[in-house]
Every structure is written in C-alpha cells, then in structure tokens.
C-alpha cells in the first residue's frame, strides 16, 4: 500500500473509530436521569 | 360481575400498559436501544454499496476530506436539528412531521411541508422493502448452495431474471414475507419490536461486517483463484487524488452521500426522537448514532466490496464495474466471488454478506413505518396494530408497480423523486424553519436541553448560516437534473437518435411508465395532504392544540 493511501486510511478510520467509541462509551456510562425518563426499562 | 371484570382487567394490565392503551403513547425501552435504533435507521444498504463506489469515482482517499467536512457542516447540524424538532414536537403530543412543524410556527403551510415527512417514508418503504427482500432471497440461495458451480455470467443473469420475474414468482413471495415481517415487528411497537430488532440486528451487522472486512483485507494472490492481495483493493480505494477536491461535482457527491447515509430529510429521526422526554439528552444520543453510522460506512463499508472484487477481478475490471453502481457489485459479482472460497465458507460468507445487508435494510425500513403509524395514532386515534397493518397494506399496494415494472424504470423513478429530491427539499425547509423561523436562540436551547455533552458553540453559527447554504447549493445544483428528468430529456434524445421501430416503441412505453409513476407519487402526496387537512379540522373541532 502506498504511503499516501495508508495515511488517508489510518487517519480517517482511527478518527472515526475513536469518536464512535467515545460517544457510545458516554451513552453507556452517563448517569441516568431521575424518573420519569424516556426509557421504560430504567 | 362488573366489579369482577374491572378486577380482572387491572390484574391483567399494569399501570403503564393502561396508560399506553388510553393515550396511544409509545416508549423506548432503554437509551442504548434508542441509539441503536437511530443508528440502524441511518445504516442502510448504501453504507456498503454506495459509499465505496462514490469514493472510487470521486478522488479515492481524497474523497474523505469533502465527505467529513460535509459531515461536520451539514450532517451533524441536521442531526441536532431533527432530534430537537422531534423532541419538541413530542412534548406537544406530535409524532409525525406535519404537526411537529406546525407546533414550531403558526403559519398553516408548514404542516403541508411536513407532509414530506410521511410521503417520503411511505414511498421509500414501498420500493425499499423490495430491495430488502432481494437480500433475504440471496441469503437463502447462498446457504442452499444455489450459486456453487455457476459462472459469473450465470450469477449475473440470475439477478436479471430475478428482478424481471423471469424464473417464477419467488421474488414476489419473498417480498410478501418481507412486508409481513416488517408489519408484524412494527405492530409490536417501539420497545417491543423496533428496538429489539435494532439490539439484535446492529451488533450482528457489525460482527458480519468485521468478518467480511477481515476476509477482504487478508485475501492472498494465488490462493483460491485470487489474482491480487486484498490490500491492493484498499490501496485502489484510498489512494488520494487531491486534484479532485477542487471539483464542485466531488463536493456535491460528498454532500449527497452524507445526506443519504444519515437518513436526514426523511422525518423518521423526528419521529423516533418525539418519544424522548424534554429533560432527556438528545445531543449525545444523536452524536453516538451519527458516528456509529460513519464507522459502519467508512471503516467497514470501504473494506468489503472493493478489496474482494479487486482481489479476484483486478483493477481494470472493477473500474469498469463501479460505473454501473454498487448494486451490481453487491448482487452480481460478490456471490460469484464467494463461491471461490469453497462450499462451506461460500455459504457462510454469502449468508453474512446478505444477512448484513438485510439487517441494514430492515432497521431502516422499520424507521420508515413509525412516522406513518404515529400520524394515524395521533390524529385518528388508531390502535398501534391497526396502524401497522394499514402501513403494510399501503406499501404493498404502492410497492407493486416497482416489483411488476422494475425493468421499466419504476423502481428508479420512486428512488429519484421520493428517495432523493424529496429529502433535499424537506431538509432545506426544516433547516430554514428551525434556524430562521423558530429562531436559532430557541433552537440552540432545544439542542442543549438536558444535554449530556457540551455542544461546541460554533455549531450555532454553522446551523444558522452554513448548513442552509450547503443545502441550498445542493438543491439548486440538482435543479438542472430535476428538469431533465421531468422533461424525459434522455429518453427523447434516445428516440431522436434511433430509427429502430422496436426500440422507439420500447422507449415510448418506458416514458409512459415513468410519467405514470410520477402521477402516482403526486397523488400520494396530495392524498396525505388531504389527510393532514382532515386531521387539522378534527383538532380544531375538538379544541386540541394546533397553531
């Protein structure tokens, strides 16, 4: 793989993966709000 | 007797169920379920079939620059706006766009602009479910070994015969199964149906995607008939042509891709978000769903069809194939290439590939059902199951022309008007409403209400000025193409350039089908507008909130 293709791939995919993981991790770990909230299982 | 009846009823139904029946209100079961359902709404077949082809055709690796810029300047603001509009409308008891828009400004025409949010979902679902049924059928044929031992030409003609109903009525039977499945899941409600499918479908889609991406990248030249390493395909897709980013058409393609991949401008995001309470977050939820879609599209979508196709067919052949779009690669080429891996791995890979496309499809088509159902339940007090089966019947009737007359271009015509033009028109209207009519100050407060993340203030400026400008540019740049379509310019030119009587007859017949499709779509829009008018009158009569 040439270096410019590799650079584009790595920068794009690492950036997107980090943002995806960060936001999903926050969704999983943010404290729940007081009832009644929007979610029936909470 | 009467007391016993009430006692039994109370024992059978808990408090929340009684509330749901009385008010026809739905709930999300969990926050993760909501985020996965929203991500599932966005992730569609285009993530795997359209994005890699767009990247190859528009500068390779350099395409990611305009693509991500458009995501930041148009995609993210539209996600914030649509989630906010939905939650705001839900606070006033509205779960479909006509009355969500109506609650944001007192001028009557907004509710008719909101008709786009039902029209688009209904008509896109009508042809999308057919596409979804192909994936189901191909998954079955992959597992049953139908493709083993066939040449590439035979597999290509299998697709042609399938969509032209040449080999019997299997496509119609599987399409009906697909419609029934969608309707049945929708009748189970948000937490009991849509959310459960998203919680199963999205993780499976990602697992299947990772497996296929791994297989694609690790292809070795000389093994199982491959002529190139998988890395050659990645190199082909990601090698940047930086000159391309100065071309307006590349930016238009990037804006279009962002637009369609996020499912903005449809009205389904507003509908899902309308079930979120006003104190609960939408900023973090929208970011999580949006970035998850980007992960599936850029990380997984770029590592499957192009690397595998180039591994077996070479760069020249694939460069030729991408001109006909990703659908051809996905349905005509990949099933053949999987057969090179031996019967067991071919069955597993085929099942995973079409299973992945099926989950991508069904999580999107379910999202298309909810605004239509929300409208019927809110305005006409229909029960959920009745609304779901009515939606199923509507997409059966509206989808029939796309199934029976696929080869006459009806499917593509639906896709163009309902799945492309309507989205741009509606998104442009809603961003103007949100930023300029409802007001950016109020809008910004809505975005930040209950937010679990700090939304950078720069997005206030972007949402007010930059996003409407980009959307306006996308709309005006599309106008010449829209006028060419309306005037059937391409077909008329073809007729003028031929003397073959049969071809002229065929082209005239095609023009008839295309014009018929457009009239049908217009009638649907008018019909929904009339229903909105009736609902408005009912609201006035009953003294319910309206502008």
| Chain A residues lying within 8 Å of B287, measured CB to CB | 19, 23
- Beta-carbon separation of B299 and A39 below 8 A: no
B192 interfacial to chain A (CB closer than 8 Å)? no
Instruction: Count how many pairs of residues, chain A against chain B, have C-beta atoms within 8 Å.
Output: 106
Name B28's bridge partners: A39
How far apart are the C-alpha atoms of B130 and B138, rounded to whole Å?
Answer: 13
Q: Which residue of A has its CA nearest to B299?
A: A13
- Beta-carbon separation of A13 and B294 below 8 A: no
How far apart are the C-alpha atoms of B353 and B356, rounded to whole Å?
Answer: 5
Q: What is the pLDDT of residues B301-337, one digit of tens each?
A: 999 999 999 999 999 999 988 887 788 889 988 999 9
A35 interfacial to chain B (CB closer than 8 Å)? no
How far apart are the C-alpha atoms of B422 and B364, rounded to whole Å?
Answer: 17
Q: What is the pLDDT of residues B224-262, one digit of tens each?
A: 889 999 999 999 999 999 999 999 899 999 998 998 899
Q: Is residue B193 within 8 Å of residue B392, measured between CB atoms? A: no
Which residues, other chains included, contact B105 with Cβ-Cβ below 8 Å and sequence gap of 6+?
B433, B437, B438, B547
Position of tokens 């597999």?
B155
Give this complex's ipTM.
0.96
**To the nearest 5 percent, what fractions of chain A are helix, strand and coil?**
65, 0, 35
pLDDT at residue B160 is higher than 80: yes
| Residue among B219, B30, B45, B49 nearest B132 (CA) | B45
**To the nearest 5 percent, what fractions of chain B are helix, strand and coil?**
80, 0, 20
Q: What is the pLDDT of residues B343-396, one digit of tens each?
A: 999 999 999 999 999 999 999 999 999 999 999 999 999 999 999 999 999 999
**pTM for the full predicted model:** 0.92
| Residue among B393, B290, B387, B308 nearest B77 (CA) | B290
Considering chain B, what is the average pLDDT of its residues? 92
């Amino acid at each position: 793989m040439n270096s410019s293709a590799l650079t584009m791939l790595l920068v794009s995919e690492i950036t997107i993966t980090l943002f995806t993981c960060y936001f999903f991790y926050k969704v999983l770990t943010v404290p729940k709000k007081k009832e009644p909230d929007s979610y029936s299982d909470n | 007797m009467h007391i016993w009846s009430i006692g039994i009823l109370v024992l059978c139904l808990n408090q929340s169920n009684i509330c749901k029946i009385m008010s026809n209100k739905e709930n999300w079961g969990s926050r993760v379920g909501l985020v996965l359902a929203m991500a599932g709404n966005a992730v569609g077949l285009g993530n795997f079939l359209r994005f890699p082809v767009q990247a190859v055709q528009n500068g390779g690796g350099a395409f990611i620059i305009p693509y991500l810029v458009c995501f930041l300047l148009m995609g993210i603001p539209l996600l914030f706006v649509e989630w906010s509009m939905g939650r705001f409308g839900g606070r006033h008891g509205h779960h479909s766009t006509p009355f969500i828009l109506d609650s944001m400004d007192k001028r009557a025409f907004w509710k008719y602009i909101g008709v786009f949010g039902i029209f688009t979902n209904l008509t896109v679902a009508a042809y999308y479910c057919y596409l979804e049924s192909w994936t189901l059928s191909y998954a079955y044929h992959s597992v049953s070994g139908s493709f083993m031992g066939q040449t590439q030409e035979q597999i290509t003609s299998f697709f042609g015969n399938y969509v032209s109903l040449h080999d019997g009525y299997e496509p119609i039977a599987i399409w009906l199964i697909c419609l029934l499945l969608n309707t049945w899941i929708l009748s189970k409600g948000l937490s009991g149906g849509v959310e459960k499918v998203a919680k199963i479908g999205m993780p499976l889609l990602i697992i299947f995607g990772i497996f296929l991406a791994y297989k694609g990248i690790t292809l070795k030249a000389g093994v199982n008939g491959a002529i190139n390493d998988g890395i050659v395909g990645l190199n082909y897709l990601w090698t940047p042509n930086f000159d391309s980013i100065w071309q307006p058409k590349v930016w238009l393609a990037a804006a279009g891709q962002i637009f369609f991949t996020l499912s903005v401008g449809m009205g389904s995001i507003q509908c899902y978000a309308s079930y979120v309470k006003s104190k609960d977050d939408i900023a973090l939820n929208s970011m999580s769903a949006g970035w998850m879609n980007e992960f599936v599209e850029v990380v997984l979508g770029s590592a499957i069809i192009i690397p595998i196709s180039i591994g077996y067919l070479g760069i020249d052949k694939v460069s030729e194939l991408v001109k006909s779009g990703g659908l051809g690669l996905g349905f005509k080429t990949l099933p053949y290439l999987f057969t090179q891996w031996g019967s067991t791995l071919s069955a597993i890979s085929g099942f995973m590939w079409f299973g992945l496309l099926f989950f991508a499809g069904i999580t999107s088509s379910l999202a298309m059902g909810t605004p239509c159902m929300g409208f019927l339940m809110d305005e006409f007090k229909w029960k959920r199951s009745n609304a779901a089966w009515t939606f199923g019947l509507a997409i059966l009737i509206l989808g029939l022309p796309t199934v029976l007359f696929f080869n006459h271009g009806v499917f593509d015509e639906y896709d163009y008007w309902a799945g492309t033009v309507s989205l741009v028109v509606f998104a442009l209207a809603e961003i103007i409403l949100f930023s300029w009519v409802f007001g950016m100050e109020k809008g910004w407060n809505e975005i930040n209400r209950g937010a679990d993340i700090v939304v950078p203030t720069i997005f206030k400026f972007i949402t007010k000025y930059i996003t409407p400008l980009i959307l306006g540019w996308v709309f005006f740049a599309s106008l010449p193409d829209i006028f060419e379509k309306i005037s059937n310019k391409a077909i008329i030119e073809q007729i003028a350039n031929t003397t073959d009587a049969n071809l002229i007859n065929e082209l005239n017949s095609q023009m008839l089908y295309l014009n018929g499709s457009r009239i049908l779509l217009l009638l649907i829009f008018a019909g929904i507008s009339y229903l909105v008018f009736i609902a408005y009158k009912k609201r006035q009569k009953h003294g319910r909130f309206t502008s």
